[in-house]
Amino acid sequence: MHEFTVWAPAASRVMLHLPSLDRREPMRPVADPALGQEATPETAGLWRVQVPEAGHGTDYAYALDGGEPRPDPRSAWQPEGVHKPSRVFDASLHQWGDGAWAGLDARGAVFYELHIGTFTPEGTLDSAIGRLDHLVELGVEIVELLPVAEFSGERGWGYDGVGLYAVHHAYGGPAALQRFVDAAHQKGLGVCLDAVYNHLGPDGNYLREFGPYFTDTHTTPWGDAVNLDADGALAVRAWIVDNALRWFRDFHVDCLRLDAVHALVDSSPRHILAELSDRVAALSDDLGRPLGLFAESDLNDPAMVEPVARGGRGMTGQWDDDVHHAVHSFVTGETQGYYCDFGTSAVLARVLKEAFRHAGDYSTFRGQHWGKPISADKHRGHQFVVATQNHDQVGNRATGDRPSATVSPGRLAGSAALVLTSVYTPMLFMGEEWGASTPWQFFTSFESPELAEAVRKGRRAEFGSHGWAPEEVPDPQALSTFEASKLNWSELSGPVNSGLLRWYRDLIELRRTSPDLLEDLFDSVSVSYGDAWIAMQRGSFTTVLNIGSEAAAIPVAAGSRARLTWGDVAVDELGTVVLQPDAVAVLQVS
């Protein structure tokens, strides 16, 4: 027996198609006026039917008012892609083996961001399980998966998902995600899932046929906004909140990374993020383990991580791109585009102590004053997730080139040291730990030829305006673009690569075992700098990096000794460390 339910408030009739059973069933309104049943906010627009013969593995679709059968907006399983029927998935069938997993507080944990399709040659969740030991040995604590929601085609970043309840068929489907999380937990790793609620992809998106999932009251960079505050918003909000809760409940995920929450435009009395925060907190109490919500926000507003009770959005943490921009621009010298207000050691010192470069001051890139300052009394460093690389900052470059393509191993090591000994929650991007030479490019496989060509032309036009020749910009639709983005695990045996990997492991171990480096008070950070060097002090530790063309003599605390070094470093116990160009050291006072 399976009960099928769908929200279609404007439909006058809804037919359930069951191709695997070769039958059709008319559905009835949950609140049927013909039967004298009045609609409530929870039942308005819902249609329902029970089918005794249906269950796990049954294919189905919904036809509204005689139209074409469409996939379920809440489908958990799309084995043949976004245009084909849905399939019933019984999440309770998985026999979990993670009973000993008590969860973890994700704040301060070492995150590792990866894309299932390019993490291994096979590009599946099951094959990724085979690489979890590498992450355990590295010292990672949380694996962050780029979006796995069903999207058009076989390959893509996942940010064009249209089946938000389903797990992409090419990755192995929903049962494979359960196996992955179970395996990760049994190895002591948490799992964070990237969830995209601010927009949906265009190919295979049939939501408008079902109801007012979108509104033209607000607009986003992707078109009409998801409907959070107009007519019909109650059901749309429930569709989002229920989705988030189900990842925690049915898939045992530990936290969600919420994509571009600044595009969740919501003028209702209770913002969707605040509602989500409260509901997740209640579920956390019920499950007896910590659950986290990490927001990607472009607003530079620390209210994102303030409690709902104090007027905040209640997020566990938020991404802080300003730290990435400051580190990247300092070690590469790039100051174009949104790097234009970065690049100096002074700016780097500021973000290492205060989280944001723009905290109410003028942003040249945006052409306006931007952001708000953090408060050392109200905010903690672990509420901000920082990285030297991530999918956006690498993949949204014209050729998807990593820093390893242009900067020395010493600068890679220095960037890692600044992030992993900082006051923040650090995140690595897959392959970063060994200086992977493979790019990570923008790739798609849209089934619509018109959409594929539009994306191809748009990508080349975007970077053409920055001086790139069209032939230099990889074709997103080409299989070769996807294949070039896959990690090359054989690189780990190279002398420089293996050296970087040891460096990352040693940094993470030092961080894990040193109370001073786990302290997350902003007042614990002090920074000194010169034109080409920076020194960040955290308790008894000082991290120093020299990117100049000559040796730098840097004053540090007397009695400092080297714990970790890369390059030519000499320490004077009287209080001076001399670093040759592109050398880095983590020092500790004896």
- Annotated active-site positions, please? 259, 296
Q: Which residues contact 75 (CB under 8 A, 6 or more apart)?
A: 86, 87, 150, 163, 165, 166
DSSP 458-497: HHHHHHHTTT--GGGS--TT-HHHHHHTS--GGGGGSHHH
CB 144 within 8 A of CB 113: yes
What letter does residue 311 receive in the DSSP assignment?
A: T
- Output the six-digit token pair for 453: 């060509």
Classified as helix, coil or strand, 391 is helix
Rounded to a whole number of angstroms, the CA Rg of the chain reads 25
What letter does residue 93 receive in the DSSP assignment?
A: G
Separation CA 64–CA 51 (nearest Å) = 18
- Output the six-digit token pair for 303: 């209210």
Instruction: Report residue 423 CA to chain centroid gap.
Output: 20
Annotated binding site: 257-262, 321-325, 391-396
How many CB atoms lie under 10 A from the CB of residue 218?
18
Separation CA 223–CA 265 (nearest Å) = 12
Separation CA 272–CA 304 (nearest Å) = 12
- Among candidates 48, 182, 188, 31, which has minimal Cα distance to 109? 188
CB 428 within 8 A of CB 141: no
Classified as helix, coil or strand, 400 is coil
Annotated binding site for substrate: 257-262, 321-325, 391-396
